[in-house]
Amino acid sequence: MTKNNGFSALIALFFLTSCALSQKSSSIASSTSGVVAISPTSNSILTSTSSTASTSNTAPFVFNVSASGYTSTSVTVQAGQILRLTFAPSQASTLSNGSSTVYNYSALGVYITVGSLTLPSTMLTNGYGGTTAERSPVLDFSPALTGCTSGTSSGTACRTSVTITISSPNSNYWCLIDGQMCPWNRVSQGQTWGGTLTVETDDTQAVD
């Protein structure tokens, strides 16, 4: 009788232990089933390959250029993908060859070159003799920029030194003086000419 009671107690203990293990296993499975896997998404980092217009508050660069005779002068700017400019002729207020003679003109036209691209300013009046002070249309030299490839973002990205050359000046000086070589002709040796170059780049406001 005592032997049977001991066997029965052993069976009962085994049953209770099995139930406890089963409940513990079920509890662990329940707790891990609520874990959410976190993995990076494919669009977590977006890389733009298109350029955007500059939002800079910096005013366009302004250069007062001048030379004497049928020659050229140049300025240099830093640009990436944008280079647009205007030219406005100045009046001949500078003395030529150290003399007291001022070779006045009321109209001047030049050619402007960047790289292999040359564009004319057209003949423009400068306000002398009651004429209207004009400036050229906006001349776009952006296609001539080869130092930075398209798709480069703005900011501190690619910038290269770009030379802008102003050359081949023609004025109406002789036409004003004695009615010859009208409406205009090449600026003669010793005669001064000049104007204002206003330049837009990636880092400035637009030139209007």
Give the residue extent of every domain in the chain: 61-201
Cβ 84 vs Cβ 117: under 8 Å = no
18-34 residue pLDDT tens = 444 344 434 333 332 22
Specify the CATH architecture of the domain 61-201: Sandwich (2.60)
pLDDT of residue 208: 82
Written in H, E and C, the secondary structure of 106-170 is CEEEEEEEECCEEEECCCEEECHHHCCECCCCCEECHHHCCCCCCCCCCCCCCCEEEEEEEEEEE
108-122 residue pLDDT tens = 999 999 999 999 999
Residue 192 has pLDDT above 80, yes or no: yes
Residue 117 β-bridge partners: 114
Is the preceding omega at residue 183 within 30 degrees of 0, hence cis?
Answer: yes
Residue 45 has pLDDT above 90, yes or no: no
Classify 4 as helix, strand or coil. helix
